[in-house]
Chains A and B, each alone.
Chain A
Amino acid sequence: MNPVSFLSHCENLDILPAGVIIIRPDYLVTCWNRTVAEWTGIPREKALCRDLREIFPHLGERRYALRIQQVFEGGPAVFFSTQFHPHFIPAPLPGGGFRFQRTKVHPLVEGDRTYAFIFIDDVTELVQQVHSYRQMRNRALREIEERQKKEAERKTAEDALALANQKLNLLSSITRHDILNQVTALRILADLIEMERDPAAIADFAGKLKVLAGIIEEQVDFTRDYQEIGVREAIWQNVSETVRKVAESLSHPGVRIVNEPDTVEILADPLFERVIFNLLDNAFRYGGPSLSEIRVSRRMEGDSLIIVIEDNGAGIALPDKKNLFKRGFGKHTGLGLFLSREILAITGLEIRETGEPGKGARFEILVPPGRFRLSGHREIGRDDTAG
């Protein structure tokens, strides 16, 4: 067989901007076009009739040899990608580095002989473009992520500002309106005292003055508490432990508090203790003579946890129920239950009253999923209830 039988074809292939090498099954080079000669610096006459594996030893490795062998055996063309074979043949670039290549090896049949036609594309520019595209894309994705983060931060800041404004407005309205009301009452009482000569009546007015002063003090206390809502981060708090602590601080002769130790914890504003205080304090204040027991329990309602604080006192009259959590409604300052609702709302908790008038008050705190757990972080299931 003439080892250079493709020589004339080879010269025709010189016009191609791609590298072309043709080899026989014994890897003897029968064609080496001008592009390959330019890339490698090996002139055609020095490459022809030489074993390609002698020129480029890595092509003798199994990962190349096995696949090129398929071509000689009549198999389909073989494709070598830039990713796995970036430099099929070493072709240095003038500025340093090597050309990136994409290579196809086709069967070429002449008579009863099969040759391997190796077609090498220079894809250096494409690789650079794809890498720049990937960098640009990654940068764009990072920028989008950064913007989304900043947007979320801005939203959080806006929410905090809105909350602060809301609080400020309310505080200002309380200080201006509610306290001034009490001060007006104080002035009237002072005028009455000035005019009154009866010592018993004066003593009575003085007692009322003290009550009004107490209310003003509580309103000032409220403004302080209200200011603190949402200021500190929400924390996990053990409900039965909080109830126990609050119950100990309140005097309740003749009233039994049923509060079994429990491991349930809720994520709530640090002022949650104030909520429990208000609920127990209300029971003592307005439970009436029938009040003998306050019971704390929990149950599941769908995926939410319900904390129940109920008593056997007078209960809440039906007409009062719808206004119960409104600011200013109530027998005392009208701030306790309003404040409780606000404290709970900070972490998405809700409060409702479901008791029967005459049979007792029942307050239920709804804790949504993700805001409650058992100590040790075990999630509470539907069947996991405790009294």
Chain B
Amino acid sequence: MKVTEESVDAIRELINIGVGKAAGLLNEMTGTHIRLQVPEVRVLQYTDLARENQLLEGNRLSAVTLNFSGPFSGMSMLIFPDRSAALLIAALTGETIAEADLDALRIETLSEVGNIVNNAVMGSLTNVLGERLVYSMPEYREGSITEILGRSRPGPYDWVILAVSRFIIEDLHVVGNILMVFEIGALDLLIEKIDRVMGSSA
């Protein structure tokens, strides 16, 4: 599959629209001024994902996942490195968290943040493309990237969109990553549709 710079730009724009909406919702919900930025979007092969040591290292990543199926199928997830999740929750809730300890209530809180971001990004993609997808229940997972992906239906995954996202709350910068893992052929379909829609709107 050939992914052109234009296609990546279009995906970046759609993800940015999504995270912008998510930031707005988080602001309204928490009363805290949050900015969400996506400084980097890359398309890579699923088999290369485990090599993303810089962004996905650690044995205690926290992820909120969402499976989708329809014209293009796969899985979307918001994934945080160790400690970042606890830092983000502390900043959003005003709690003092002595250690990176995620108890049941904090996991719920993170799940809601992940739910907002995943839904907004998926909403942004499907709205522009005019597609309807079927979604699974959102799920919280913990572990290394291999463990997190391993708990999914062993789909014949193919390509991945990796969007580095940055939550900025006052002086705090927390990095999370949005991963969209596509089943074989799904990203081709998505890009084809994006090109068609962007082409017709150009």
Contact = CB atoms under 8 A, between A and B. Distances in A.
Interface of A: 62-63, 66-67, 70, 73-84, 102, 104, 106, 126-127, 130, 133-134, 137-138, 141
Given A79-B111, A83-B105, A138-B98, A63 B122 contact: no
A63 B135 contact: no
Given A62-B28, A70-B123, A141-B98, A79 B115 contact: yes
A70 B116 CA distance: 10
A343 B37 CA distance: 59
Interface in B83-112: 93, 98, 101, 103-106, 108-109, 111-112
A74 B68 CA distance: 12
Nearest to A126: B104
Contact of B135 (A77, A102, A134): A77
Contact of A75 (B104, B108, B109, B123): B123
Contacts of B93: 83
Contacts of A67: 25, 116, 119
Nearest to B116: A67
A298 B126 CA distance: 73
Contacts of A106: 137
A81 B119 contact: no
Name which of B29, B68, B109, B132 has the most chain A CB atoms within 10 A of its CB. B29
18 contacts: A63-B25, A63-B29, A70-B123, A75-B122, A75-B135, A76-B115, A76-B118, A76-B119, A76-B138, A77-B115, A78-B115, A79-B138, A81-B105, A83-B93, A83-B106, A102-B108, A104-B137, A137-B101
A141 B68 CA distance: 43
B66 interface: yes
Nearest to A129: B104
A82 B138 contact: no
A93 to B, nearest CB: 18
B155 to A, nearest CB: 17
Interface of B: 25, 28-30, 66, 68, 93, 98, 101, 103-106, 108-109, 111-112, 115-116, 118-119, 122-123, 126, 132-133, 135, 137-138
Given A66-B25, A138-B98, A76 B68 contact: yes
A102 B138 CA distance: 14
Most buried by B among A78, A79, A106: A79
B108 A78 contact: no
B25 A76 contact: no
A326 B30 CA distance: 70
B98 A83 contact: no
Nearest to B108: A81
B105 A82 contact: yes
A323 B165 CA distance: 67
Contacts of B116: 67
Contacts of A77: 115, 135, 137-138
B135 A76 contact: yes
Top 7 A-B residue pairs of the complex, sorted by shortest distance between their CB atoms: A76-B135, A81-B112, A83-B109, A79-B115, A81-B108, A63-B28, A63-B29
A73 B112 CA distance: 19
B103 A84 contact: no
Contacts of B68: 76
B122 A76 contact: yes
Contacts of B115: 76-79
A174 B5 CA distance: 87
A64 B108 CA distance: 17
B119 A70 contact: yes
Nearest to B64: A79
Contact of B119 (A75, A80, A82): A75
Given A76-B122, A83-B93, A130 B98 contact: no
A74 B112 CA distance: 18
Contacts of A134: 103
A66 B119 CA distance: 12
A78 B22 CA distance: 13
Contact of A83 (B112, B122, B123, B133): B112
